[in-house]
Amino acid sequence: MLSELERTAIRAAVERLGDRRAAAAETLAMLQRERGWVSDEALAEAAMVLGMPREELETVATAFELVFRRRVGRHVIMACDSVSCWIKGADSIVALIKERLGIGFGETSADGEFTLLPAGCLGLCEQAPAMTLDGLPYGRLDAKTLDEIFARIGEDKHGDSAH
């Protein structure tokens, strides 16, 4: 079920843009931000609030790579596989990540912690090879920097559970 806040946000977007369709993009981005992914149920309800057929909103949702239509892990890694990163060894970086998490592209680890996705050029070419983790950029990746990044996530998790 959409929260009252989410419904209000959708109506506000329609009002501000004066156009239901234009609000579709904003609605999907908002749901993605709030929920981490957009479920079938959320999409159907959002379409109702927008006053457009579910299929029409679906058409928009599936066109964009940062709208996730399947449940993802607590952390999402998007590893660049485009040309500048490929030259700098993106394949081996991806292999390291896959080995460490025990998952392939498009998969989520069994503990629900990580999802790994391929990304087209992230615009971090001078720092290749690069990836984003939960939307934040990381460049000049190698075995060592990856270790450090994963260690930091481990610590954060530790911190969380102390609450």
Return residues touching another protein (CB under 8 A): 19-26, 28-29, 32, 59-60, 63-67, 78, 81-84, 86-88, 120-128, 132, 135-137
* Cα–Cα distance, 117 to 126 (Å, whole number): 21
Q: In the numeric block, which tokens belong to residue 88?
A: 């700098």
CB closer to another protein, 21 vs 70: 21
Contact 150, 144 (CB under 8 A): no
Axis crossing angle, helix 40-50 with helix 20-35, rounded to the nearest 10 = 150
Tell me how far, at minimum, the Cβ of 163 lies from another protein, in Å: 26
In whole angstroms, how close is the CB of 23 to another protein at the nearest point?
Answer: 6
Comparing CB distances to another protein, the nearer of 1 and 54 is: 54
Q: How far is the CB of 162 from another protein (least distance, A)?
A: 28
Q: For another protein, which is the closer residue by CB, 40 or 111? A: 40
The answer to whether the beta carbons of residues 132 and 88 sit under 8 Å apart is no
The SS3 assignment for 77 reads strand
Give me the least distance between CB of 37 and another protein, in Å please. 13
